[in-house]
């Protein structure tokens, strides 16, 4: 270091002073030349190491700078990794939601298909019953003096005549439909009969429609004599 060099030069001067008092001029000249050469070597060596130290300081600064950059890059990578993890998590959630939605849609489709099948089956049964009722039309008209009309909402209107001997053309009417459960249901009756509910329950139990119509005609006939 510079302090060591200064100390060394001071010691050299002291040594030179002692040497002058002991040796002659010639020896002192040789020693002086040797001293100058030594001083020059020390100066060159000092400059060389000073340069090396400066280069070392620059290298350390660069290392610190590189370390700082690496730390920043590491933090950036860590943040990107966290962001990527969040994106993956969101994608997984979206996939699960998509699967749940797909499953729900499939369940709704299956449920809708079942309902369509049930409705189709009920409609088919209703149609078959209406057709079966229509087949009895000729028989009822011939034997019971009955007229059957198909009116709105797939209902059948039954009109009896020749019941009241005082007024043979007087109509006795009831209207029949088939409800959502597929059962016969009397929607209107004129004149009203107290026993109509009983007849309705019985035809649902026995499915004997001819007896049902005959019983209603008998009830109308009995009513005409009151």
The residue behind tokens 């939605």 is 101
Q: pLDDT above 90 covers what percent of the chain?
A: 27
Mean pLDDT of all residues in the chain? 83
**Beta strands of 59-178 (E only): which ranges?**
146-151, 155-160, 172-178
As to burial, measured by CB atoms within 10 angstroms (0-12 exposed, 13-18 middle, 19+ buried), residue 28 is middle
Give the pLDDT confidence of 3-25 residue by residue, as tens digits: 777 777 888 888 877 777 776 66
**145-225 belongs to which homologous superfamily?**
Chromosome segregation protein Spc25 (3.30.457.50)
Give the pLDDT confidence score for residue 121 in this predicted structure: 74
pLDDT bracket for residue 193 (50, 70, 90) = very high
DSSP label of 162: S
The two tokens of residue 94 are 């979206």
Tens-digit pLDDT profile for residues 88-143: 888 888 888 888 888 888 888 888 888 878 767 766 776 776 676 666 666 666 66
Write down the pTM of the prediction.
Answer: 0.41
Q: Quick one: DSSP state of residue 168? A: T
Distance CA 6, CA 9 (A): 5
* C-alpha dist (Å) from residue 94 to 51, 88, 99, 106, 121: 63, 10, 8, 18, 40
What per-residue confidence (pLDDT) applies to 78? Answer: 82
């Amino acid at each position: 270091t510079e302090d060591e060099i200064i100390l060394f030069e001071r010691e050299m001067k002291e040594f030179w002073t002692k040497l002058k008092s002991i040796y002659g001029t010639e020896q002192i000249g040789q020693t002086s030349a040797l001293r100058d050469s030594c001083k020059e070597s020390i100066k060159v060596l000092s400059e060389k190491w000073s340069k090396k130290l400066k280069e070392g300081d620059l290298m350390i600064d660069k290392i610190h700078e590189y370390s700082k950059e690496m730390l920043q890059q590491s933090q950036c990578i860590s943040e990107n990794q966290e962001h990527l993890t969040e994106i993956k998590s969101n994608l997984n959630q979206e996939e699960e939601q998509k699967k749940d939605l797909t499953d729900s849609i499939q369940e709704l489709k299956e449920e809708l298909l079942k309902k369509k099948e049930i409705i189709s089956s009920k409609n088919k049964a209703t149609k078959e019953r209406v057709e079966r009722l229509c087949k009895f039309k000729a028989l009822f008209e011939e034997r019971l003096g009955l007229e059957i009309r198909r009116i709105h909402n797939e209902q059948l209107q039954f009109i009896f005549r020749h019941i009241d001997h005082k007024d043979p053309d007087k109509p006795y009417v009831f209207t029949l439909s088939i409800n959502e459960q597929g059962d016969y249901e009397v929607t209107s009756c004129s004149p009203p009969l107290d026993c109509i509910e009983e007849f309705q329950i019985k035809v649902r139990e026995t499915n004997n429609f001819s007896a049902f119509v005959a019983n209603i005609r008998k009830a109308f006939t009995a009513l005409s004599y009151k």
